[in-house]
A and B are shown apart, each in its own frame.
Chain A
Amino acid sequence: MSTLLLLVITGLGLGALYFLVASGLSLIYGLMGVLNFAHGSFLTISAFLGWEVGRRVSDGTWWGLAISALVGIAVGAIVAALTEYLLIRRLYERHIEQALVTVGLSLATVALFEGIWGTDPIYTEKPDWLGQTTEILGAKIPNDRFLLIACALLVLGGIVLFLRRTRYGLIIRAGVENRSMVTALGIDVRRSFTLVFAIGGAAAGLGGVLASVYYGYVSAHLGSTLLIFAFIVTVIGGLGSLTGAAIASVLVAVLQQFANFYLGGTGDLVVVVALAAVLLVRPRGLMGKVA
């Protein structure tokens, strides 16, 4: 029982991390049809700059972590908005060029990060409590998983509120369904494109800082590693569906944890098999639109 609980809660923690990356990917694809391969770079730069500022303010404390998170969110939002404004905006409806640009940006930024921070992981400090465990029904749960889950729930709640309660949210929800009709109602839908990139980048930025807490290090490849799973989650959840991304994040991460434990570390393989199965049985994903 304690093992099951441990696997479920650690899976939820990992799923929370996947969701922070996948939520932005899903919204961006849903509204703009852009498969953003540079999303991992938003996460990595946020993790590095968050860590750089946090450790200078107060390394290994809650205060330092809070500053890191705020910096990560701001950096992620700004870098993503600039990427949309400077690179993607000219390439809407040109999917091959979009993919080339975002893949190129992803590769170039990894090289840039390696040039600045080196190729080896840099181990980070975190508040003592996050390095400890809490016993629940006999299972010793690493405390950082609770932080990840709480942050992902806050982000999910925040995005849902934004989408349901604001005019921009209304425009985004309508744009995901029929972008040209939104334009035909006299709305400059491109303005909301930048906003969606910024929101996705902010979530990825927070994800970057939390990933450094989860893994205990920052590295130039942090984003690209998580991006692969975030894409899998986004496809399984249904491209463009935030709810689908949330559900798939949990399913994929829990499945991965169970497979790693019971099937000899085959978690990654099982996730890829699950992706193949979903694509064969339900190509639009769990909650995606019918093409």
Chain B
Amino acid sequence: MSEPILVVDRLAGRIAGQQVVEDVSFEVPATGVTALLGRNGVGKTSTIKSILGLIDRTGEVRLAGTRIDRLPTHRIVQRGVGYVPEDREVFGALTVAENLRLAERDARPRRELVEQLFPDLVQRRAQRAGTLSGGQQQMVSLARALVNENRILLVDEPTKGLAPKLVDEVAAALAAAAKTVPILLVEQNLHVIRKLADRVVVLSGGRVVFTGAATELLDDEDRIRRYLGVHDAADAVENTGTLEETR
């Protein structure tokens, strides 16, 4: 197996003095999708933010063997870490085109790829991002990460709050992106995880409690119930059920 693209070692994170990530260690392989799972509030989003330096953190983070945990956020991103935040966080007062232009940091941004993946955004270039639907805003958020050549994408709950049709569109875009770049994906929708993830890392109580192949977890109802709090696990995986809501 090739060297992992991202190594997280004894990562701890704090928000306003409160410990939100305790002692997290895991690796992300250089290919495919690794899903970061866990019940609500276990620190998945905080783990992503800690990796990016968006919150105070200690511990080691290595990108392709080089430590990045002492760098400020913008330098980490410049090294090829794309970020799709929870709740999209598009700049509502800027147009779609301006949102994308702001994100372009490569000399040759991949505009054609973005236009190919999200044709709807081409027609809405001049529209203010704040007036887009939730699904369209998610497209903008994903497009901002995909417009650059990244070494890894950190994608935080991309299907949250979306209608089933849009969930499939987002999943398709992520599947296309995963062919060219490894993805660390925080996702609640087990159906999407089944579709996309090769490996899973499960957090509980601020620590990693399971690491392995996605099928190893998804085929084991008992584990799903214990780690993710899903009671009707088979139904949740086969349909579009999300963690917690299928209890």
Contacts and interface: CB of A to CB of B under 8 A. Distances in A.
B180 to A, nearest CB: 18
A52 interface: no
Interface stretch (A75-83, A125-133, A172-180): A172-180
Interface stretch (B58-66, B83-91, B118-126): B83-91
A28 interface: no
A5 B89 CA distance: 47
Nearest to A184: B83
Interface stretch (A186-194, A197-205, A230-238): A186-194
A185 interface: yes
A170 B93 contact: no
Given A184-B83, A185-B105, A170 B74 contact: no
Contacts of B161: none
Contacts of A184: 52, 54, 73-74, 77, 83, 85
B202 to A, nearest CB: 25
Interface residues of B, number: 21
Nearest to B88: A181
A186 B77 contact: yes
Contacts of A187: 74, 102, 105
Nearest to A171: B102
Contacts of B105: 185-187
B92 interface: yes
B246 interface: no
B94 A170 contact: yes
A174 B73 contact: no
B98 interface: yes
Contacts of A124: none
Given A173-B94, A186-B74, A189-B74, A180 B54 contact: yes
Name the prevailing secondary structure of the A interface residues.
helix
B94 A186 contact: no
B85 A174 contact: no
Contact of A185 (B72, B92, B98, B144): B144
A182 interface: yes
B150 to A, nearest CB: 10
B101 A185 contact: no
B93 A173 contact: yes
A183 interface: yes
A183 B73 contact: yes
A174 B102 contact: yes
Contact of B74 (A167, A173, A174, A183): A183
Contacts of A186: 74, 77-78, 105, 148
Given A186-B78, A187-B74, A187-B102, 20 more contacts: A170-B94, A170-B98, A170-B101, A170-B102, A171-B102, A173-B93, A173-B98, A174-B91, A177-B93, A181-B89, A183-B74, A184-B74, A184-B83, A184-B85, A185-B77, A185-B102, A185-B103, A186-B74, A187-B105, A189-B74
Interface of A: 167, 170-171, 173-174, 177-178, 180-189
The 6 closest A-B pairs by CB, nearest first: A186-B77, A186-B78, A174-B91, A183-B73, A181-B89, A188-B74
28 contacts: A167-B101, A170-B94, A170-B102, A171-B102, A173-B91, A173-B98, A174-B91, A174-B102, A177-B91, A177-B92, A177-B93, A177-B94, A180-B54, A180-B73, A182-B102, A183-B54, A183-B74, A184-B52, A184-B54, A184-B74, A184-B83, A184-B85, A185-B77, A185-B105, A186-B78, A186-B105, A187-B105, A188-B72
